Amino acid sequence: MPVVRSSDAVTHEIHGARFVSYATPLSGAKELCAWRGEIPGGTKAPAHTVNREEIFHLLIGELLVTLDDATHRITAGDTVIVNPGVTFAVENPTDHTALTWVTTSIGLEAELADGTRITPPWAN
Contact criterion met (CB below 8 Å) for 47 and 113: yes
pTM of the model: 0.93
Taking only the tens of pLDDT, the chain with its 124 residues reads: 589 999 999 999 999 999 999 999 999 999 999 999 999 999 999 999 999 999 999 999 999 999 999 999 999 999 999 999 999 999 999 999 999 999 999 999 999 999 999 999 988 8
Contact criterion met (CB below 8 Å) for 57 and 79: yes
Contact criterion met (CB below 8 Å) for 24 and 33: yes
Dihedral pair phi/psi, residue 6, rounded to 5°: -60, -30
Kindly state which CATH superfamily the domain 6-123 is placed in. Answer: Jelly Rolls (2.60.120.10)
